[in-house]
Structure 1
């Protein structure tokens, strides 16, 4: 039997009362941007539950949770460890994870993610009352109820905010959680930048040239041109990123640059990256997790968008500016298949980007 769909007006009163008993908030997404966009809504549910919540998060984002107040008790899903250990060690990791999850003795599970691993965790949680999103990949027989509200604005934040509307009657404005770092992080960051001969007298600009999908990536030759131009404007460019794909793209960009720039790709923890974003003059990059992290850290953000839509996936807050090609793609264009090779991204002229950035440099 398919799960029922519900909005605030049809949610049984018994579900609303469940916030006063032990519950689980599940957000084991692999995508850092989705986590950051969801965190404020999760904070509000934790607050309303008066300490009865257990929040389940991917272990890779421990630094983000440590920098976020009001999350309470957290259980980390050991995704990375499971990839690097043997069969016996994997079995123990999973046993320990599900043992801690079940020890919370929750009566209600709220699945904020609804994708991939979250579906498996929901199924094995031992929790009978389970509420999930309407767009969950695997929903048949999984949820007691699925939340649906076709009238909400399109940004992903509003999908998560539906939990607040349903349980608390709140309609929050789109926002990230506040991210705080300790003075020790600033000191550690200063030491690392010193190793890379960073010029402390010059304002720094962070650039992230990567993205999870190729169709989100502005061409590397354009980033090289922008980096050199920023240096001519008296800015110290710092390339950031993580993973093999980002490392390769940064190396290719640097090979095209005529000026030296600082490259800390793969050198900073998320905690130090937050500290860096809080010190930078602005961030420039594609639609990506680091874009959302920079915006959440309070940095001025310039985000380059192509096939993806900022109304759905754009950075939050009044310090974010989306840069988009004035030349649209064909109407038949999709993210995975485009008859004109994602013209909206690949033909975005560096001159247009410079004109936007110049306003900030004045």
Structure 2
């Protein structure tokens, strides 16, 4: 499986994968870039692939499929003017993405067109025991009580128009600690650590800053340890669902119909407004989302209470 290098470690423990090919996108000198590309495709071709399946629609992955040396190469037909890309495949599927379609169903449609079917339509991630042990050590080092159930809260996104607001998360975390008697772990990337620290400082006892303290793979192990995840439409939401943790996704202008974790106990909360989801980068692409600004504490708390079966204290069921 070929994936961006930042996601490669998520697949390390997948039992049905023989090899993960990490595609990097970092800046290199012209000579280093050429040498890297030669080595990369030499390694790829050494696998002697018979079949290449391109789930993306761009040019980079099409070239990768072609240079893999696979005699059969399948992908989505591109009607965006890059028709040369289509010539790199031996078989193409005409299947346009529509806003009412979940991305999972869209991607699986490519496989189904060639008779590759599955009843398992939600992603699953395996987590090795070594990573689980590393998380136990991390929680002990952070002083997190091993007797309390853990709730992961991810307030941050690469895209600020998807964020609900730090003041609201502070209030929500205080409520979670008081109402359910849980330990709340504020998660995020290393660059978000200072923002997380401010939230934790203002929340007080029962709240811990884990932002930037894990790799992506050990983040999966951390989320697997949690009883519940609440946070923005982000990678964390999908990783939590993939390791079997119950999720509540806070959605703004993006469409949960396309992006929310599917099935089971997973839920979303989104402001009911005529313009939602607009699928834009905030109102009129302003990077500010009124639907999130006006989403209230009561709306989020009510969804959590309903999701947890109304059980409180103080101890999540």
Tell me if the contact between 1:222 and 1:350 (Cα under 8 Å) persists in the aligned partners. Answer: yes
Report whether the alignment pairs 1:311 with 2:253.
no
Stretch deviating more after TM superposition (165-174 or 201-210): 165-174
Partner of 2:76: 133
Give matches, 1:340-351, under 5 Å: 341-351=288-298
- 1:198/1:169 Cα in 2 relative to 1: closer, same or farther (>3 Å)? closer
- 1:139/1:114 Cα in 2 relative to 1: closer, same or farther (>3 Å)? same
Report how far residue 125 of structure 1 moved.
Answer: 4.6
Partner of 1:21: none
- 1:137/1:75 Cα in 2 relative to 1: closer, same or farther (>3 Å)? farther
Report how far residue 267 of structure 1 moved.
Answer: 0.9
Partner of 1:254: 200
Report whether the alignment pairs 1:114 with 2:57.
yes
Q: Structure 1, residues 319-346: CA drift from partner, whole Å, max 9, x if none?
A: 21011113x1547955135159422111
Partner of 1:336: 281
Partner of 1:356: 303
Corresponding residue to 1:295 among 241, 249, 263? 241
| Structure 2: segments with no counterpart, 5+ residues | 312-317
Tell me if the contact between 1:181 and 1:274 (Cα under 8 Å) persists in the aligned partners. Answer: yes
Report whether the alignment pairs 1:235 with 2:178.
no
Report how far residue 109 of structure 1 moved.
Answer: 2.8
Question: SS in structure 2 opposite 1:298?
Answer: coil
Report whether the alignment pairs 1:162 with 2:109.
yes
Corresponding residue to 2:217 among 244, 258, 271? 271
Partner of 2:135: 189
Tell me if the contact between 1:122 and 1:142 (Cα under 8 Å) persists in the aligned partners. Answer: no
Tell me if the contact between 1:242 and 1:266 (Cα under 8 Å) persists in the aligned partners. Answer: yes
Stretch deviating more after TM superposition (108-117 or 222-231): 108-117
Partner of 1:148: 94
Give matches, 1:8-27, under 5 Å: none
Between the two proteins, the alignment pairs up a number of residues equal to: 302
Q: Structure 1, residues 80-130: CA drift from partner, whole Å, max 9, x if none?
A: xx34x6554443322211112233444543211223642453465566754
Tell me if the contact between 2:76 and 2:95 (Cα under 8 Å) persists in the aligned partners. Answer: no
Tell me if the contact between 1:109 and 1:129 (Cα under 8 Å) persists in the aligned partners. Answer: yes
Separation in 2 of the partners of 1:96 and 1:293? 31
- 1:231/1:138 Cα in 2 relative to 1: closer, same or farther (>3 Å)? farther
**What RMSD over aligned residues (CA atoms) do the two structures have, in Å?**
2.9
- 1:137/1:251 Cα in 2 relative to 1: closer, same or farther (>3 Å)? farther
Q: Structure 1, residues 55-96: CA drift from partner, whole Å, max 9, x if none?
A: 2222222332122221233322234xx34x655444332221
Separation in 2 of the partners of 1:332 and 1:271? 31
- 1:322/1:268 Cα in 2 relative to 1: closer, same or farther (>3 Å)? same
Tell me if the contact between 1:218 and 1:304 (Cα under 8 Å) persists in the aligned partners. Answer: yes
Tell me if the contact between 2:183 and 2:206 (Cα under 8 Å) persists in the aligned partners. Answer: no
Tell me if the contact between 1:291 and 1:301 (Cα under 8 Å) persists in the aligned partners. Answer: yes
Give matches, 1:56-67, under 5 Å: 56-67=2-13
| Structure 1: segments with no counterpart, 5+ residues | 1-54
Separation in 2 of the partners of 1:192 and 1:317? 31
Separation in 1 of the partners of 2:16 and 2:178? 43
Tell me if the contact between 2:12 and 2:20 (Cα under 8 Å) persists in the aligned partners. Answer: no
